Structure 1
């Protein structure tokens, strides 16, 4: 990459959380790297209270020429909103920030430096993430320390998450952006990106605060499970490039992902058990991993979480 400091576009989709959005924007404005633009994509429905409140809160911020505000014609979901933000952006590097998370002050500086100094033409630069609870206390630091050619790794598990990544805009566009699928949008995106250019690196420091809610959440919707199955079907389209051992490992990872997705919804136990059977069959014996998910299917997420609290 050219050694001149590139313009970085940060796309912030927002839906239903106008007050948290301000925290996210402030975390970008407080970056040590200043050649940036912010594109806020308002995915609230027109005439909704959230749309009106978002407009009102953004009034003073829009005096800053680095901040632009675009509205979706209707609530379209995060994938389409993020794609819209990239479409109107001017930078050659793109970041995404969920409206309830926040960048740490040197995120952009560290990642741009990695892009510029790398001898490879990187597709994505990642980093670590602080995972915080509802009281803003750090529960853990998420570290994925893979680098280099990571396409096969991405087929198995997600190498990077949306709010962590800095992405080459050209490759993002060539990959077609986010797919409008029920769930697993970011996992699918990075498969598409790394299929074009598999080169990934990361900075060895937390670059974002990601806020998680405590406790297990059980949903009546099936979108998470539907998305997990679609992701697995998409991954299988690359199996001709893989060895039998790689396919076996990737199958196991996706069986587990689908089990967890079904166990997060009401009345999902029967479907989860089907994929548990596939997992056990692929292993050919009852190892620790199979036993772990057998307990999950039998007891359920809420009971497992309760048991953990006693340990």
Structure 2
């Protein structure tokens, strides 16, 4: 089967060591047709400029820190990567997170099987860099399960297990989609116009949905999402001791 190109978009600011771990988790994928696009949001760590990245990594250096300059969240930073992406698919990865080696293969195969162009997965939650020798809580099914179950109380959308197909009505109630798990066909992101700029002060004070949630809702007006309940990413709750790009 001819594997379609996946463009992996990673925004980063002053978390170089974490970024290298994230890149390694992509380079170790069993799915081998991908490009990595790093959007460096004006980092002051000189290693971003002095150390060479692998040949299939494209780095965009924003001269000025755009998140601080514009007051928007990281969605606008990801848009730089989406705009130069060559892939049929866009996959998102935060620079402090980590992928399991079969993430792309399992996820894209499921998208093709179900003929759904938007997908997300279960993951692991921990604090600090991923360590394969440690046991971690599942992100949705353990760490945040009680919170999620409470959100859907009184609806018929969530029983004891997550449904396989998620639609607009399901995600409108609560954002169960973790950004580092998402793969979506690029034509849908182009149709949507990418992430909208929502002021950081707004979404951090829970005034309306944050940029990720807003984007997922926009995509779910165009299609459904296929959810894979196997953990295929690791989420670092400590955020690599740097800027959180959630």
Scaled by the length of structure 2, the TM-score of the pair is: 0.76
1:81 to 67, 72, 77: 77
Greater share of residues in helix: 1
Secondary structure of the residue that 1:4 maps to in structure 2? Answer: coil
1:140 aligns with 2:137: yes
5 Å matches for 1:298-309? none
1:172: how far off?
1.2
5 Å matches for 1:26-175? 26-45=24-43, 48=44, 50=45, 52-57=46-51, 59=52, 61-62=53-54, 64=55, 66-77=56-67, 78-118=74-114, 120=115, 122-134=116-128, 136=130, 137-143=134-140, 145-175=162-192
Aligned residues: 202
**TM-superposition CA deviations, 1:201-257 (whole Å, max 9, x none):** 12231111111139xxxxxxxxx9xxxxxxxxxxxxxxxxxxxxxxxxxxxxxxxxx
Extract structure 1 runs of 4+ deviating beyond 6 A: none
Say if 1:15 and 1:43, in contact at 8 Å, map to a contact too: yes
| Unpaired stretches in structure 2, ≥5 consecutive residues | 68-73, 142-161, 204-209, 240-245
| Structure with more contact order per residue of length (Cα contacts < 8 Å, sep ≥ 6) | 2
| Unpaired stretches in structure 1, ≥5 consecutive residues | 215-223, 225-311
More displaced stretch, 73-82 vs 92-101: 73-82
Secondary structure of the residue that 1:143 maps to in structure 2? Answer: helix
Distance 1:44 1:113, change over 3 A: same
RMSD: 2.0
Say if 1:8 and 1:35, in contact at 8 Å, map to a contact too: yes
Distance 1:83 1:138, change over 3 A: farther
Q: Could you say which structure has the larger radius of gyration? A: 1
CA distance in 2, matches of 1:138, 1:79: 31
Say if 1:123 and 1:194, in contact at 8 Å, map to a contact too: no
1:176 aligns with 2:193: yes
